[in-house]
Structure 1
Amino acid sequence: MFDDKLMQDGALAKDTPQMSNPHLPADHPPVANEKIGVLIANLGTPDGYDYWSMRRYLNEFLSDRRVIDYSPWIWQPLLQAVILTKRPFSSGAAYKSIWNEEQGESPLMTITKAQTKKISEAMAERYGDDVIVDFCMRYGNPSTRSKVRIMAERGCRKILFFPLYPQYAGATTATANDEFFRSLITEKWQPPVRTVPSYFDRPSYIDALAQSVERAYGVMETKPDILVCSYHGVPQRYLMEGDPYHCQCQKTTRLLRERLGWDKSEIVTTFQSRFGPEEWLQPYTVEEVARLAEGGKKRIAVIAPAFSADCIETLEEINEEIRESFEEAGGENFTYIPCLNDDDAHIAALSEAISDNLKGWIE
């Protein structure tokens, strides 16, 4: 069900089963056997860490009005003339430090492939070959449009779209959905579609997070003084304009704390990856870990509940930049707890969400 030939952007499976229908005329184009498609989506990744690969990726990402909502008349000249002449070098160096050289791809790509394979196996066990699972990226390759086209070619007459963001934000979940809906514009035969909502408070997701913390703490000689739950930041005004992201992050932390049976003093919510001059959600992770160290919290652990897979923001920003901030302020022991990635409990939680949202289409 999960086919490596579908990994390449725009590649079509050559062995798509064709429907044998005696009612079709001889000159009718081939019709694939009817399937249900599950298309999971992640943020995206550059094709490489060289200047031009990084520039193409950053241009697509930073031109998204859901991500940067300043007027294009102001933003685009600044982006094209200043930011995209410098940032590809620094971002490329950061990607190079974490790149999966063996596979020739970013860790996010490697992990997303592994997640898709395991989810596909879970769907096959439950539904046989009636459900096809594949993945796409909002930015870069494989594109959402190419994978919608592939699913249509393979006979998917219904598609469930699943952005892998536990907490909803306009700059993540909404823009992924936007691109999915835009992809349907070019389809002659549009399938009925559904989108999977945010799963920030789903018990199976919270339990998977808790298990990852328990495993990490279980091998430590001394328990950390505090667990920092670091979420990707967004501008503070997004909250004031109605985006529920901040509230969903806070609830995820609370539910995780309750599942672990901890006191409020043992866990804190912070926000990372600030960009631009305006105020973003606070406290900022890079500043908070320094404050904790200065305040006597010499041993901390950091987890990133907003990321379904390890990526540049976790492997480089948290495990290098934020770690450095903590240690320079006097911190002594910094532990990064990896994202859930393709952990079995995580795959079970994602598969459960998929099955719940397929109800009425297939049982």
Structure 2
Amino acid sequence: MARYSALSDKNHDQLHSKLKQNATRTGILITNLGTPDAPTPAALRRYLAEFLADPRVVEIPRLLWLCILHGIILRIRPRKSAALYRQIWWEKGSPLLVISSRQREKLQQQLGDAAVVKLGMRYGNPAIATALREFQAEGIDRVVVLPLYPQYGGPTTGATFDAVAGELRRWRRVPQLHFINSYFDSPAYIDALGKSIATYIDSHGMPDRLLLSYHGMPKQFLLSGDPYYCHSLKTTRLLREQLGLDEDRVITCFQSRFGKAEWLQPYTDKTLETLAQDGVKSVAIACPAFSVDCLETLEEIAIQNREIFLDAGGSRYDYIPALNDGDDHIAALAALVKPFLPSHHA
């Protein structure tokens, strides 16, 4: 018994020392949707199986949907998606993961020793659960979760919360937790977006129309209370006001629909086709809901939708990149988490 007590005391002292060492440090977990490990059918099958099985993403009765998913979609879509990913894949890997890693590094530099910044993906790797366990192993018991979705959406932000809660429910001691569920109207975020678009206009001139394309969502989600559509419209209004543009020059639209159900409108591809047919010759398009360039921006917007507009009669089509790891964006992210750091209150 004495031997056991001595060992216990030693372990207790080590643990206490570790906790004390990290008492002034906060874990910052930035998250994004995720990416396959490689642009191959096998990797896409694993990724899509996890992503599309989430009831936050597809709200169809489970048994019916799982039969469709495993019986049809996962037999067909992985090969098609892999071909699309190969078009945008970088030498260093998935653009979303490469850029997200840079964001993590730069945010760590911005926040300094007051925080430990980690990256987690809702689907695929590196997993949210892995990042949380690393915080736990380092004795950090205060965590701020920042999903990099400016506009709240159940399939994105809500699904992230599910992953965080799903991991923490297994812990004996739950850390102090702050969850930032949106920043669609954050002044620093709007400022960063505005500067990005203003820089484009200064370099290329004002297009006939500026399109702000947000990720799509089934209309039923809006009718059931999801605020994503309203958040998107407010982001557009604040951005338009910052840029000093008239309402008729800026168009809000929604991309990336899937399936046969009605989604949020107007649709980006249909809008571009109609604009070109009506004589609009030049457009620029930005995607405020995407904090990082990925398949939906680099392939769908920059390649597919360019072809739609030019084939319908348009003359000039420019994609304005996501904020990515630009200095203004990193400063905006830092502004979101700094209020939760102990040093901020000192």
Query: TM over 0.5, yes or no?
Result: yes
Indicate whether 1:40 and 2:34 are aligned.
no
Counterpart of 1:234?
217
Indicate whether 1:149 and 2:130 are aligned.
no
Match of 2:48 among 15, 38, 58: 58
Could you say which structure has the higher helix fraction? 2
- Give, in angstroms, the shift of residue 190 of structure 1: 1.8
- Give, in angstroms, the shift of residue 189 of structure 1: 2.5
Counterpart of 2:190?
206
- Give, in angstroms, the shift of residue 230 of structure 1: 0.2
Give the 3-state SS of the residue equivalent to 1:67 in structure 2: coil
AA aligned to 2:207 is P
Indicate whether 1:85 and 2:69 are aligned.
no
- Give, in angstroms, the shift of residue 30 of structure 1: 4.1
**TM-score, with normalisation over the residues of structure 1?**
0.89
Counterpart of 1:71?
61
What do residues 232-254 of structure 1 show as CA deviations (whole Å, max 9, x unaligned)? 00001111111100011001011
Counterpart of 1:6?
none
Counterpart of 1:324?
307
Give the 3-state SS of the residue equivalent to 1:290 in structure 2: helix
Give the 3-state SS of the residue equivalent to 2:79 in structure 1: helix
Match of 1:123 among 111, 123, 126: 111
Contact 1:209 1:256 in 2 (8 A): yes
Counterpart of 1:11?
none
What do residues 127-165 of structure 1 show as CA deviations (whole Å, max 9, x unaligned)? xx2311111000000111111000110111111111000
* Moved beyond 6 Å, runs of 4+: none
Correspondence 1:247-258 to 2 at 5 A: 247-258=230-241
Looking at structure 2, the residues matched to 94 and 228 of structure 1 have their Cα atoms a distance apart, in angstroms, of 23
What do residues 41-69 of structure 1 show as CA deviations (whole Å, max 9, x unaligned)? 01101000111110000000000000001
AA aligned to 1:67 is V
AA aligned to 1:276 is G
RMSD of aligned residue pairs (Cα, Å): 1.7
- Give, in angstroms, the shift of residue 24 of structure 1: 7.2
AA aligned to 2:107 is I
Looking at structure 2, the residues matched to 273 and 258 of structure 1 have their Cα atoms a distance apart, in angstroms, of 27
Correspondence 1:1-363 to 2 at 5 A: 25-28=9-12, 30-31=14-15, 32=18, 33-34=21-22, 35-101=25-91, 103=92, 105-124=93-112, 129-220=113-204, 222-358=205-341, 363=346
Contact 1:196 1:357 in 2 (8 A): no
AA aligned to 1:191 is P
Give identity over the alignment, percent: 44
The aligned length equals 335
Give the 3-state SS of the residue equivalent to 2:197 in structure 1: helix
What do residues 167-199 of structure 1 show as CA deviations (whole Å, max 9, x unaligned)? 001011110011011111222322111101311
Looking at structure 1, the residues matched to 172 and 343 of structure 2 have their Cα atoms a distance apart, in angstroms, of 24
- Give, in angstroms, the shift of residue 315 of structure 1: 0.2
Looking at structure 1, the residues matched to 239 and 184 of structure 2 have their Cα atoms a distance apart, in angstroms, of 10
**TM-score, with normalisation over the residues of structure 2?**
0.94
Contact 1:286 1:322 in 2 (8 A): yes
Q: Which deviates further from its counterpart, 197-206 or 281-290?
A: 197-206
Change (3 A) 1:329 1:132: same
